[in-house]
Chain A
Amino acid sequence: MNSRRRVAITGIGMVTPLGHDAPTTWAGLLAGRSGLGPIRGFDAEGFPVRIGGEVRDFKPEDVISNRRLLKYASRPAGFALVAAEEAMRDAGLRPNALDGHRWGLSVGAGMLGVAFSELETVHRHCVADGEFHPDGFLDSQFPVDPVAFCRSQTNAGLGLLAQHFGIRGYATAVHTACASGGQALGTALKVMRRGHADFMLAGGFDSMLNPVGISGFCLLGALSTDNDTPHQASRPFDKTRNGFVLGEGAGFLVLEEWASAQARGARIYAELAGDGNSLSSYRITDSHPSGDGPIQAMQQAMQDAGIGLEDVDYVNAHGTSTQMNDRSECAALRAVFGSHIQRVAVSSTKSCMGHLIAAAGAVEAGVCALAIRDGIAPVNANLVEPDPECGVNLVRGQSRPLQIRATLSNSLGFGGSNSCLVLRHPDEVMAPSGRGRFPLGKATA
């Protein structure tokens, strides 16, 4: 490959349990504030798990004035529209009739989402004597709702984003469970590098905080049952961790070709510099104890970015707070970083936000960009007794001021997909001074 396009992050938007925008979320993360609490969105009293990271008091109409569009937006699609709107405004950029076809869209989207009330309607009409009867749908009383049908389409969020912003180019939605958000950004990077778009709106959105969604994880025993202490329930890398806390939200980035971002005087948060993407091919929910899979993803991402171990100052870990994930992720980190491991700051911001599933990787990449901008690694909250088996340099107690030249953002999914993104400080790109391997314009693949 000849000289390769560089990709700048110029806009960030977030809707998370910590706030309805990126600045509030970022301030919460730096302060180590918990966005987790008792579930209020539905009556969770009988459930084994009664806590989550809910986006509270969310009113998309405060940000998105197109009411008709919002009618077609599920809860997570509403998060997506609001976070994407913030990212676009932050970048000071908007597709227009002339360049809409050069804008792409890449999202990590959740599983099929049906409102619980809709499932109750099916139950009311189609279940008799404990049996399911499809003919109940033919009942003239059955409330067929075409808008609800549209809302539940797997790519509805993608279609609404394209419509709202006037994006006319490459558009894709990916779902690799918890790795979705990271993979969506990785895909966006590749689409820009191969010249299929000059701008990308990329991110992830999800909400499984509903009776069916949370049930799926309850049945697997994957969630923390610390119902009385929600603020401490998510404690990645702590010895006493006992599962993750389900969150919801969205994260979006605006990506632009570096030179054109510079030319218009855009504020560049960071370079989206590398993507690593592997498949563990081990077991569907278990990660390999050795870290096999994530190891390859991290190595590929750094190679792709053209950086070495010595360039990485901070890792935003997947760090779900399950026994297995955190141990295996640390094994991977130790295997990758070797003697550098104690120099690299590691934290999981899921300690404050919970696990945003398909949105997690996208929000966390935005977190990495802000960490680079502000020179601070956000705290891994609730770390009282670090698991001695983890053996990595965790950001404990409070957020840590740190010159960050490059960060990794890990996202590891059920099903074994592993995504690792590399973000670099813009100064590293502009003035390589021996650290960056490839001077601008001569990058090689």
Chain B
Amino acid sequence: MNSTPRIMITGVGAVCGAGLGVDAIWSAILDGRSAVAPIRQWDSSRWPARLAAEVTEVSSQTLVEDRRLHKFISRTDMFGLYAAQGAIQQSGLLAHREKLEAPAVTRFNDRSGVFVGSGGGVYQNNYDFLPLITASGGDLKGFGRELTSTVNPMWLLRNLPNNVLCYIGIRHGFKGTNACITNQCVGGIMAVAEAAAALRSGEADRAVAAGHDATIDPETVLHFHKLGLLAEDAVRPFDRDRRGTVLGEGAAAFVLETDEGARSRKAEIVGEFLGSGCSTEGTGVVGVRPDGAGLSQAIELALADAQVSSEEVGLIVAHGNGTRASDASEANAIHRVFGDRPPPVTAFKWAYGHLVAASGSIDLALALRALRDGVVPGIPTLNSLDPALAPLPVSQKPQSLRGSVAVIACRGFGGMNAVLVVRAVPVSRAE
């Protein structure tokens, strides 16, 4: 009987307000450049909370070369497909497949999974029906009659939450096990966890795991603002004066392979997936447990799954969304697991905002880079650690890694927590 295979990450792709590609985003973070700025997707000059981290000055064609596809997909899908393309390209999987004989290609495709965390849609998707409401004068009979002559017949298809899943399959021929996870903020990170689980259980030999979202939408911004979740100047994770988060948009994607598969084709290995943990707090739609017990449970499950002790963790990439309640409960969770000597903690949302369904994915992409470069980036917007959260090793300045293992924490509406454990340089786990 085979033992459970180790899981390697052999490709990473990403896009967000801070840059196109992991290199550009990483440089922005090291340079302390934030993409947070007044919203440009609509005239936001009168909006009280008008900050977001938008992807600007990037054409649709840069994101998705095939222009025929543009009318069948939406903005969020473009990000997801761009990131997936980057990850697949870096992995060299397609070049490898080209060298295979026909029957082996069929098997390769059937054994290639696709897992996607998708935001599931935004309010403005439905605004395509506003002209119809105008045309019908608010009368439903007229709405029905004028429907086919007023609304784009592709409306439903453009807004399918599983478009990225579908088009990764169609574009690259992958036909294996798959899922589109619509679990709000934790969707992207759960896609990685499910992809790894599929590889461990032998359902697939490799998988693409992507997270994508584009929530900078007027009605969403309005509601986030009214709930007091949006910052008016900057995202300041764990700061005494933190005032909220800022929405971002984008995607990150990964290629995961079994150790055997990656080594046999001599793939360059970016990092190793070690484990995942997931819990829910049962606190309703938007609440969090103040004591952090839901998140600490997920961290402990992930460490156990990874067979790593809390002392071996060298870096925590926190969810750190900058809201009063979430950051406080996250600090509590870290203390519950790591006691009063936690490893260095950082958070990246000051640079690219909250990518919602892609938030954990983009954090994972940068955690892998931090491990590779041996540096824990500082949080430039952090002026003064909230004393109620101390001791918490966060800093405006870069810190040193305490070890080669990173924990990535991700949280979301619905009381969801999902945590990954990864390491950069695979070392033999022989005992």
Contact = CB atoms under 8 A, between A and B. Distances in A.
Interface of A: 1-2, 42-48, 69, 72, 100-101, 105, 109, 111-112, 114, 119-120, 122-123, 126-127, 130, 132, 134-135, 137-138, 144, 146, 149-156, 158-160, 162-163, 165-177, 183, 187, 190, 193-194, 196, 211-212, 215-220, 277-285, 293, 296, 300, 413-417, 444-445
Given A219-B153, A283-B170, A123 B133 contact: yes
B173 interface: yes
Interface residues of B, number: 95
Interface of B: 1-2, 42-44, 46-48, 72, 109-110, 114, 118-123, 125-127, 129-131, 133-134, 138, 140-145, 147-148, 151-157, 159-163, 165-167, 169-170, 172-184, 190, 194, 197, 200-203, 218-219, 222-223, 226-227, 278-286, 294, 297, 301, 412-416
A434 B301 CA distance: 39
A279 to B, nearest CB: 4
A220 B279 contact: no
Contact of B130 (A1, A44, A127, A196): A127
A265 to B, nearest CB: 28
A1 B1 contact: yes
A146 B229 CA distance: 12
A211 B1 CA distance: 55
Given A417-B162, A417-B165, A173 B144 contact: no
25 contacts: A43-B140, A101-B297, A112-B122, A123-B138, A137-B222, A150-B284, A150-B286, A151-B285, A153-B413, A155-B183, A155-B414, A158-B416, A166-B282, A170-B278, A172-B194, A173-B181, A173-B182, A177-B160, A194-B197, A196-B301, A219-B147, A220-B156, A284-B160, A296-B110, A417-B179
Contacts of B200: 194
Contacts of B178: 176, 277-279, 417
Contacts of B172: 281
Nearest to B172: A281
Nearest to B171: A281
Given A111-B159, A112-B122, A175-B161, A163 B179 contact: no
A130 B134 contact: yes
Contacts of B159: 111, 216
Listed from nearest, the 6 A-B pairs whose CB atoms lie closest are A46-B144, A159-B414, A216-B156, A112-B121, A47-B144, A154-B120
A128 B44 CA distance: 18
- Chief secondary structure at chain A's binding surface: mixed
Contacts of B141: 43, 45-46
Given A46-B142, A154-B121, A162-B414, A183 B179 contact: yes
A36 to B, nearest CB: 18
B30 to A, nearest CB: 34
A154 B180 contact: no
B251 to A, nearest CB: 16
Nearest to B217: A134
Given A112-B125, A120-B133, A173-B183, A278 B413 contact: no
Contacts of B127: 122, 132
A399 to B, nearest CB: 33
Contacts of B294: 168
B192 to A, nearest CB: 13
A394 B74 CA distance: 40
A174 B182 contact: yes
B282 A212 contact: no
A122 B130 contact: yes
A139 B297 CA distance: 43
Q: Which of B123, B134, B145, B182 has the most CB of A within 10 A?
A: B182
B134 to A, nearest CB: 5
Nearest to B276: A196
A284 B134 contact: no
Contacts of B147: 47-48, 215, 218-219
- For A126, A146, A172, A190, the residue with the greatest tally of chain B CB atoms inside 10 Å of its CB is A172
